Homo-oligomer: A and B are copies of this chain.
Amino acid sequence: MANRRLNVAVVGATGAVGREILRLLEERDFPVGELRPLASARSAGKTVAFRGRAVTVREATPEAFDGIDLALFSAGGSTSKALAPEAVRRGAVVIDNSSAFRYEPDVPLVVPEVNAHALARHKGLIANPNCTTAILAVALWPLHQAFRAKRVIVSTYQAASGAGAAAMEELLRETGRVLHGEEARGEVFPHPLAFNVIPQIDAFQDNGYTREEMKVVWETHKIFGDDSIRISCTAVRVPTLRAHAEAVTVEFARPVTPEAARAVLAEAPGVEVVDDPAERRYPMPLTASGKGNVEVGRIRRNLAFDNALDFFVVGDQLLKGAALNAVQIAEHLFLRIDA
């Protein structure tokens, strides 16, 4: 199967995540036969670069999936809801980056380093997790395997890219306005983000948490196949461009030390331990941007619990938090590699 060329549709090909998917398919030499970039009617007719040539973007319609083997969706929940079933009906396997299907029991929600096994039971549709969850899961899973996580408290420092290419442009543009003595505006964001932090990502739920915060709870439970871990999150948008950072506290059931955790993480797939404070080396958006692996550091004993660690994890939201995870899922499905 590894040698068959696949016809691949990328839905949302002109967006921030779509562009990364195209780049990764090329860079990782995914066996693409026909590449079919799809987008809204507004973006149809544009071209995207793939393997040195310009490929014209077509409008995403049900018929656009005829003959497609693999469709990577990253164009928002409503597009996924409308078109992913159409693509599946036409024989494609869909990997969906939206939250539209993540909580459906028969849709696997997959971070390959954690639960590649869940892909076996897919029915044509596989969900890619929320970016914050994917980045956390890669670091938390090996620690959970080794020491059994009981409680997890997460505070996030999320980049503009989580809200798409227009959000990154807004941050740059409005930051420029502030530097010129003008007032920043917020159109993509609920408030101006330039030189500000905003403790709201996505809509508020009745329990006082945002949907973004609850996604970390719901999705970690589903990916880990374990809803006994108690998780609480505060999700905050900060004026960075593309890597999400997370300050994480984990109480464990089994005895843990920073040294033991560091040893576990050093062997964990998808993780780069960056933890040398004396040399000022720790995870940062500046160094994690563009990396496939997530950076983990600041590993230390938490001072408020008896058997708990704190760590700081930073991952490129557009890569492990979105495009890379989706392409890795595709590799697991079609290339039968191991994590």
Bitwise interface map of A from 261 to 290 toward B, beta carbon under 8 Å scored 1, else 0: 000000000000000011010111110000
Q: Is A126 in contact with chain B by the CB < 8 A criterion? A: no
State how many copies of this chain the complex holds: 2
Binds B, one of A75-83, A98-106, A298-306: A298-306
A-side interface size class: 35 or more
* Nearest chain B CB to A243 CB, angstrom units: 9
Q: Chain B residues with Cβ under 8 A from A191's Cβ?
A: 280, 284, 286
Q: How far is the CA of A75 from the CA of B189 in the complex (A)?
A: 38
Q: Chain B residues with Cβ under 8 A from A299's Cβ?
A: 208
A238 touches B157 (CB 8 A): yes
A157 touches B236 (CB 8 A): yes
Q: Is A61 in contact with chain B by the CB < 8 A criterion? A: no
* Nearest chain B CB to A193 CB, angstrom units: 9
Q: Is A198 in contact with chain B by the CB < 8 A criterion? A: yes
User: Which partner residue on chain B sits nearest A300 by CB separation?
Assistant: B208
A residues adjacent to B (C-beta < 8 A): 151-153, 155, 157, 172, 175-176, 179, 190-192, 195-200, 204, 207-209, 217, 230-234, 236, 238-241, 245, 247, 249, 258, 277-278, 280, 282-286, 297-305, 310, 312
* Seed contacts A195-B286, A234-B298, A236-B245; 20 additional CB < 8 Å A-B pairs: A153-B302, A155-B247, A157-B238, A172-B179, A176-B179, A195-B241, A199-B297, A199-B312, A204-B277, A208-B299, A208-B300, A209-B300, A209-B303, A231-B304, A232-B302, A232-B303, A232-B304, A232-B305, A234-B247, A239-B240
